[in-house]
Amino acid sequence: MNYQIACIPGDGIGPEIVREARKTLDAVAARFGHTFTYTELLLGGAAIDRVGVPLPDETVSGAKSADAVLMGSIGGNTSTSPWYQLPPQLRPEAGLLGIRKALGLFANLRPAFLYKELAGACPLKDNLIEGGFDILIMRELTGGLYFGERNTVTENGIRKATDTLVYDENEIRRIAIKGFEIARKRRKKVTSVDKANVLDSSRLWRAVVNEVAKDYLDIELDHMLVDNAAMQLVRDPKQFDVVLTENMFGDILSDEASMITGSIGMLPSASLNETAFGLYEPSHGSAPDIAGMNKANPIATILSASMLLRYSLNLQTEADALDQAVEKVLQDGYRTGDIFSEGCQKVGTDEMGTLIAERI
């Protein structure tokens, strides 16, 4: 089969880690008889430098014509980069928000998986992580507090800021359906996280999730308040399978989950629309301080490529092969600097990509 993949290298270490992900995808194609055709697109700081805007029209049209998008990291150092002297709508992150909206990407998937080889890097006690954990946080991406009306005013000499948290039932229903569908491919459990004891938006969220659950009687559903969920992630992470939640809660909980895996350099993500189309990127930032130094960990981007195979191209066996190749390299003791420990062999970005490609 021939598949069209749009690649957005992005900023900082982005070009390096996307290059290694492509290397592993090419190894998958060679083993399983596929052809991946890549189109390179501009976004973020790289686009600002080249054409003056963070999201060129050509990037949107190029992404829409592809089967999926593989992206590196966007942005730079906010204290030193000239990009952050620009108005907010012209900064790199505006391009990221813009492409999510243009492509209708409403479901963000962030796995938090603990490899037994990296258990020593997990900050939790050994008895809490024995046997590892495998969590998928599903965050609604286009609604809620981040997209509601906002304003800052001065009244009677006092500054006042307002942010509005809005969800309608259709926005909640579509993310809930995604969550239950993906849970069917995993361990068949959904934990819906809200703040229904305080917020009207959360009470609607819980009601709609319960309605959707009636069509998925094979899936176990429980509800958890967000403050308790934050505590439970560090108290007993193994209890979770799919965590379904709204935009701001998902933003916070997914970062918490990333830290209990030992390194954010290991964590992929996917953003999906209502079809099989998705944008795949690492959860970490652009790390401009190590850009071009062959130090970046490409595994999060390589695992994002695995998610691309699984969710957009429906190539489950190929995705499994790539995941297993990553695990084999870790078992063989190879580490980039961020996950290095005594007794392992330290390698650079390009060598890590090559080692994984060789094991597919």
- Residue 238: per-residue pLDDT: 94
- Residue 97: per-residue pLDDT: 87
Query: Is the CB of residue 15 less than 8 Å from the CB of residue 24?
Result: no
Task: Read off the DSSP letter of residue 68.
Answer: E
> Residue 79: how many CB atoms within 10 A of its CB?
6
The amino acid sitting at 63 is A
- Residue 191: per-residue pLDDT: 98
- Residue 281: per-residue pLDDT: 96
Distances (CA, A) of 190 to 82, 245, 292: 43, 10, 41
Query: Which residues are known to be catalytic?
Result: 146, 195, 227, 251, 255
- The pLDDT confidence band at residue 122, using thresholds 50, 70 and 90, is confident
pLDDT 10s digits, 37-50? 999 999 999 999 99
Helix or strand holding residue 283 (H, E): none
- pTM value is 0.90
CATH topology of domain 123-260: Isopropylmalate Dehydrogenase (3.40.718)
3-state secondary structure of 292: coil
Residue 79 clears pLDDT 80, i.e. is over it: no
- Residue 119: per-residue pLDDT: 80
Spell out the domain ranges in the chain.
1-107+264-360, 123-260
Asked, colleague to colleague, whether 1-107+264-360 and 123-260 share their fold, the answer is yes
Residue 265 clears pLDDT 80, i.e. is over it: no
Burial class (CB in 10 A: 0-12, 13-18, 19+), 228: exposed
Task: Read off the DSSP letter of residue 117.
Answer: G
Rounded distance, CA 72 to CA 227, Å? Answer: 32
- Residue 270: per-residue pLDDT: 96
Distances (CA, A) of 67 to 19, 64, 142, 167: 19, 8, 21, 29
What is the pLDDT averaged over residues 164-187? 96
Chain mean pLDDT for the chain: 94
Query: Is the CB of residue 175 less than 8 Å from the CB of residue 144?
Result: no
> Tokens standing for 288?
């401009």
Rounded distance, CA 219 to CA 223, Å? Answer: 13
Burial class (CB in 10 A: 0-12, 13-18, 19+), 337: middle
What is the pLDDT averaged over residues 240-252? 97
What is the pLDDT averaged over residues 229-233? 97
> Tokens standing for 145?
């507090």
Rounded distance, CA 134 to CA 141, Å? Answer: 22
Residue 131's region, left for phi above 0, alpha for psi from -120 to 50, else beta, is left
- Residue 81: per-residue pLDDT: 87
Residue 149 clears pLDDT 90, i.e. is over it: yes
CATH for 1-107+264-360 is 3.40.718.10
Distance of CA 70 to the CA centre of its chain: 11
